[in-house]
Structure 1
């Protein structure tokens, strides 16, 4: 493949935050990934009535303990995870953001809170009257509840968007954020995705993929997107530069590998790179047969290249819509200061037919070499 002239988005990831099975802040995630430590833990059967024996659950996380008592009585888990993570982002590296009406929020999710939807519906069927439900919990049944609460809690008055696209949700959120910036609707975009672990989600996942043994995970990761020149002008070093994003849809599983290979080839060419320039691949590691298709597609698109692979899903569990955010966060966690830039490829393939990939430029890569389960 002949590399074409670079056509960069001009967007950089200037800050990021993560609430994950490793802990409540980014440093916990970085340490866990660099150590290759598995954050999936056994579930107490007396607490969880689910068809799984283990899961990647954010430890010690409740809305009241993390956010306080005010305004959290009826807050559901994904909303609390998102509000807390956005708050960490805004008070950390992203402190000193532009005016709130110039900051957009793009939040990905699977369905919102499946637990809240089903609990509310159950109450309407089991109470003495169908309307004997808690009205304060009704907003939790709407898919964009978490994004709306993030804006309310943190005073964000810019565009507010909720997306749902399966495992590709995080990449779709990045693309939507890029479009907001390109159209001049926001000077800065906070984008990411959130997923909860709950009894109802666990049962739906077990029903959708019978016999699956892959543990589920939960959490939220958020990324601040800003123009690259603005970041460098104030003397900051970006965590990564977002070069390209590509998406497609397949109808049959047998078509997914060829489609993803085409998208990766196109993304690398658009970024002005050669396959050998890709130093790290972070796949979504979906269940087989899609997992095998993803691997086949990337190897086909990178002939002769020898990138390192890092699968974060075995460490934190299948985080659903938040899977892509943990893939991106893992790439950033493995990057460190260095003299030359390197490039990473993030791929995603979802059982509902959505395929996507992203190419990023990183300051450097310092992969951990003692984790055979995740590095190939």
Structure 2
């Protein structure tokens, strides 16, 4: 069963921007985006920034795919969304209200959903009428690829025909101080990327042309300070995707801020792949939970615009110094891959 990307939406940071009252003088933030104008005042009124970023990217992905969620299919369209811990800012602001507001009510109940992990996945389903399988994957820097892996499982198990899959990260006061406490050497970034991932037969039957194919996505635990851990994980995922290393045309990784882990990533990738990885640090900063998803958006764009074949591939690697690693392999798509055409030929 082939899984394909038929739409992609991304909200990227505009570059290093001066930010007041944060532990860094600058951050890679999204500027000039009027959430109310894009999503409507009612939608954004009580949502946190992570959710609004994801909703914009989700709308772009649906439009890119030409996917209209009607009553006939909405029960088969699901969501798989990656995060670190939901919105840090949403939780902090709700908690602060319990000290700051007067009794007896003390807090604004409309903001309570911002304290839970799955508020963004739920908001995506509500905004766009998606009633299929709905999951939130909590995986820190592996969140984007973890959500992709979960979406693939949902599709292979036929719990859904189509999945909206992605991840996001926000730069806000509480979020930035949390990031500084856990990874002080990383310049923070924010953004979101969402994809329409579906079974190839479903997409083609509906008239949606695939942009790229998901070759394989795998997650691993192990000592990511060792290059052979990275090398073995990438080699295993390439093998699962049926891709020879010399056919890899683009590679991306995230700079973790741990020099030993980052060196291990580069050495391990260099041992199995013929090209140098890109880290996106100058364009994205460290988008943490959203970083791999934004790199995946770049990969899908390259596969689409450069006309990759099924034998051409890109690789995205996400590492967590605490001992986790995820790898995704995405290939191009050609009309020869059409499962419906092959079925007709075999009749």
Corresponding position of 1:11: 3
Please report how far the alpha carbon of residue 83 of structure 1 lies from its aligned counterpart in structure 2 after TM superposition.
1.8
Please report how far the alpha carbon of residue 120 of structure 1 lies from its aligned counterpart in structure 2 after TM superposition.
1.4
Give the whole-Å Cα distance in 2 for the aligned partners of 1:167 and 1:339.
27
**Which of 272, 277, 295 is residue 309 of structure 1 equivalent to?**
277
In terms of fraction of residues, the more helix-rich structure is: 2
Q: Is the CA contact 2:83–2:169 (under 8 Å) kept in the aligned structure 1? A: yes
Please report how far the alpha carbon of residue 352 of structure 1 lies from its aligned counterpart in structure 2 after TM superposition.
2.9
**Which of 70, 88, 111 is residue 114 of structure 1 equivalent to?**
88
Q: Aligned pair in 2 of structure 1 residues 340, 71: CA closer, same or farther (>3 Å)? A: closer
Verify: 1:136 aligned to 2:105, yes or no.
Answer: no
Corresponding position of 1:181: 155
Q: Deviations over 1:216-267 (max 9, x none)?
A: 11111111112224444566542211111121112x5534x32221111111
Give the whole-Å Cα distance in 2 for the aligned partners of 1:144 and 1:57.
23
Q: Is the CA contact 2:4–2:197 (under 8 Å) kept in the aligned structure 1? A: yes
Corresponding position of 1:263: 233
Q: Is the CA contact 1:165–1:354 (under 8 Å) kept in the aligned structure 2? A: no
Corresponding position of 1:99: 73
Q: Structure 1: state its 5+ residue gaps.
A: 1-8, 22-38, 365-376
Q: Structure 2: state its 5+ residue gaps.
A: 335-347
Verify: 1:221 aligned to 2:183, yes or no.
Answer: no
The 3-state SS of whatever aligns with 1:346 is strand
Q: Is the CA contact 1:94–1:224 (under 8 Å) kept in the aligned structure 2? A: no
Deviates more, 1:137-146 or 1:288-297: 288-297
Please report how far the alpha carbon of residue 308 of structure 1 lies from its aligned counterpart in structure 2 after TM superposition.
4.9
Q: Aligned pair in 2 of structure 1 residues 62, 144: CA closer, same or farther (>3 Å)? A: farther
Corresponding position of 1:373: none
Q: Aligned pair in 2 of structure 1 residues 93, 205: CA closer, same or farther (>3 Å)? A: same
Q: Deviations over 1:299-328 (max 9, x none)?
A: 1233xxx22533223211111111111111
Q: Aligned pair in 2 of structure 1 residues 130, 285: CA closer, same or farther (>3 Å)? A: farther
Verify: 1:87 aligned to 2:56, yes or no.
Answer: no
Q: Is the CA contact 2:100–2:106 (under 8 Å) kept in the aligned structure 1? A: no
Corresponding position of 1:67: 39
Give the whole-Å Cα distance in 2 for the aligned partners of 1:81 and 1:66.
11
Q: Is the CA contact 1:55–1:317 (under 8 Å) kept in the aligned structure 2? A: yes
Verify: 1:332 aligned to 2:307, yes or no.
Answer: no
Verify: 1:281 aligned to 2:251, yes or no.
Answer: yes
Give the whole-Å Cα distance in 2 for the aligned partners of 1:100 and 1:248.
33
**Which of 258, 280, 290 is residue 322 of structure 1 equivalent to?**
290
Q: Is the CA contact 2:224–2:320 (under 8 Å) kept in the aligned structure 1? A: no
Q: Aligned pair in 2 of structure 1 residues 325, 270: CA closer, same or farther (>3 Å)? A: same
Q: Is the CA contact 2:300–2:330 (under 8 Å) kept in the aligned structure 1? A: no
Give the whole-Å Cα distance in 2 for the aligned partners of 1:110 and 1:311.
20
The 3-state SS of whatever aligns with 2:264 is helix
Please report how far the alpha carbon of residue 102 of structure 1 lies from its aligned counterpart in structure 2 after TM superposition.
0.4
Give the whole-Å Cα distance in 2 for the aligned partners of 1:11 and 1:240.
9
The 3-state SS of whatever aligns with 1:163 is strand
